Structure 1
């Protein structure tokens, strides 16, 4: 045996990670029933069968024993709102009244940095206990809310994407910026936070109805000036919203076309919901490598509609799953998978559990153009991973005793699991949550 590598740590469990989308590739994943994950500092060193890797361990390396459990890459949530944490599960008859009654008054409080930091800390606790190690996060219109979020995530060493909401019309005066102030603030925040440590910045127009043409023009200019930033916004969530956009932008062919006109379709652009898109819209998203963040729990909660996985797959649109807290009703991506499965069935298609776990890990990383950084256990990727416990609840344990294969195991976790099934969460090789 070789001499000890002080930074090397080993984790024994069943291992699963992906190399490709199981919907389109035959050999899409690696599954090691008795596996060993080796972590060197904050990066993945190797992942494989225990019998093959154990003899290569340097003397003195402790093996953390998670046998009976499953280690997968940390979940990636591509659309959620940290300021809406305190208004989750607020009743309303639809999207627009929900925004007016709950969202805007709640977001008003985030001009206070202390309030923003306290909510950010609780929000990050919820993500980590749910196994989510990376998220694309909406802050509020206040610069202070972005600083509060990134300060909290940076202190924990997390890989996070976030941005200041841009909103200069059709909103309360207390939440409005201007086209110029929004662009200026966004550029300052990009220079301060983008690629600082593990933080990444997203240009964040809330949605087309709350931005003037001037604001969308300046956002497009920033997107061109900083091409490796992210873009995040909403599109075609709700029929009333779509009609509103049509009245505000009569020259545009579709809701998505509004964003296209201002140069906001490109790699690293994420569009939440995408329910009422047509085939031309899906084709344009695929052509520009713009990604759909599918939000099943919020779409059901607000009665917005059902995402069409089949049509999106025909066009080969980059897809990911998202909780959309606070319209979404759960932080945990297992619960998001549960609802995504049912949405697909209601639209006449079928989502295998393997596909859902892909979409919540490598699929999201690919859509974010972050493959090789996060999303699987390729050597050199950041060591973000979670330990799933099939015995976490009496019902899960009873079901797990009758499983015949990997698909059944993942399906049981997705349909019966919640944050109790997350035994441990590791970010950058560090234990950041333990049940």
Structure 2
């Protein structure tokens, strides 16, 4: 029988936990079961609720997997991360533009080798899964075979991923430069091959306005027009030196975002990484278009780029979600990313509640990507991507949680003290693909056992 069940504390969101005049949790935006059961069949969630209500639905042949001391959540979603930069994470001593020249571009040139691309894609996905991330928006390189390698590895694992071939035809090493035409045609072929193929989705991916000519940006806009539903991912206003370089390269544009807008790149399903140094006009443009910002706190701090003003984004109604931005970002762990996001808010006299933080890493990101009917939640009918966070993963977390009096307190402990060790298990498309050794996980109540594909 294909039906399986997991039992433990369950949390997911139906809406933003802090929107409206009162706490949205009072209106059903936050769904929490102290003792709940999730029922899965053929990769989809078919029931979720309190154990007392769901247990009577279980037949004697349904495997019930118990997760004591654990919190069951939707799989994390990462809205901005770089496949080739896994090998330059934690590289010392520079800010953005120099960091690209010194570390990133040499690492990306290695992807000319097909074997390197395949091995890195496998390793990269393993790191995501072990950190509890089941969907990510991924920059590859200019090499089409690197995108193929990533999607093949994701397809084999069963994950829902968004990826794109980088478009870059100027102000970059010769070995990494394409042309407006070659980037258009290779991207088009990849879209036809992969977008909507199973759980794989494509993002048109000009690196940023410094490395794409107006001709290339125009061709990127054509791809979006030709293939409705395809994503756009790029960088925006990450670093003040970058902003000034864009101003000099595009003197007739109103601002950085206008460079993209002139080529029809600012639209629904467009995700702009960073957005640290934006004007009110740019905020209004993003809001009107329904485009989003990927908040990358560990990267922004590590590279000294600046602090994202969440209050201004909220005031302007700009959608945003959480992102690791590995390898400028310093961890695959969304928990560590939320840790740094909280500190970024604190430095500006703002606060980031634990409920809002976990919303941004799950349903918030899914909404920004238009995927809320598929992932980022545990609603009936959605895809069964979920994780278990272990309250006993370290002695310190276990001791600290014992003193917590509420769900919000426990979430805050996890986001401040947790990392990949907190992920007891990761389920993708209804299958357990990762079971952390020595995690606090019981065996099934039938003869079944948790499996691992990694």
Category of TM-score, reference length = shorter chain = over 0.9
Shift of 1:68: 1.8
Please list, as runs of the form range in 1=range in 2, the aligned pairs for 1:168-187 lying within 5 A after superposition. Answer: 168-187=169-188
Secondary structure of 2:128's match?
helix
Deviations 1:137-180 (A, max 9, x none): 00001111101111111111110000000000000000000000
Check if 1:19 corresponds to 2:14: yes
State the partner residue of 2:129. 128
In 1, distance between residues paired with 2:31 and 2:84? 37
Deviations 1:217-270 (A, max 9, x none): 110111111120010000000000000000001111110111111100111110
8 Å Cα contact 1:46-1:377 kept in structure 2: no
In 2, distance between residues paired with 1:124 and 1:320? 20
In 1, distance between residues paired with 2:292 and 2:179? 27
In 2, distance between residues paired with 1:92 and 1:121? 29
In 1, distance between residues paired with 2:190 and 2:208? 20
Larger CA deviation: 398-407 vs 52-61: 52-61
State the partner residue of 1:304. 305
In 1, distance between residues paired with 2:209 and 2:93? 22
Secondary structure of 1:125's match?
helix
State the partner residue of 1:430. 431
In 2, distance between residues paired with 1:260 and 1:189? 24
Shift of 1:316: 1.4
Tell me which stretches of 4 or more aligned residues in structure 1 moved more than 6 Å: none
In 1, distance between residues paired with 2:37 and 2:68? 10
Check if 1:44 corresponds to 2:40: no
Shift of 1:67: 2.3
CA RMSD between the two structures: 0.7
Please list, as runs of the form range in 1=range in 2, the aligned pairs for 1:158-169 lying within 5 A after superposition. Answer: 158-169=159-170
State the partner residue of 2:210. 209
8 Å Cα contact 1:373-1:382 kept in structure 2: yes
8 Å Cα contact 1:112-1:144 kept in structure 2: no
8 Å Cα contact 1:116-1:148 kept in structure 2: yes
Shift of 1:59: 3.0
In 2, distance between residues paired with 1:223 and 1:23? 33
The answer for unaligned runs of 5 or more in structure 1 is 1-5
The TM-score, its normalising length taken from structure 1, stands at 0.98
Check if 1:9 corresponds to 2:10: no
State the partner residue of 2:100. 99
8 Å Cα contact 1:15-1:70 kept in structure 2: yes
Deviations 1:57-114 (A, max 9, x none): 2232121011221000000001000101111111132101100001001100111111
State the partner residue of 1:293. 294
In 2, distance between residues paired with 1:23 and 1:249? 39
Shift of 1:418: 0.2
In 2, distance between residues paired with 1:404 and 1:75? 25
State the partner residue of 2:55. 54
Please list, as runs of the form range in 1=range in 2, the aligned pairs for 1:301-340 lying within 5 A after superposition. Answer: 301-340=302-341
8 Å Cα contact 1:14-1:31 kept in structure 2: yes
Please list, as runs of the form range in 1=range in 2, the aligned pairs for 1:375-390 lying within 5 A after superposition. Answer: 375-390=376-391
8 Å Cα contact 1:297-1:339 kept in structure 2: yes
In 1, distance between residues paired with 2:241 and 2:228? 32
The TM-score, its normalising length taken from structure 2, stands at 0.94
Please list, as runs of the form range in 1=range in 2, the aligned pairs for 1:222-261 lying within 5 A after superposition. Answer: 222-261=223-262
8 Å Cα contact 1:154-1:199 kept in structure 2: yes
Secondary structure of 1:210's match?
coil
Shift of 1:315: 1.2
8 Å Cα contact 1:389-1:421 kept in structure 2: yes
State the partner residue of 2:447. none
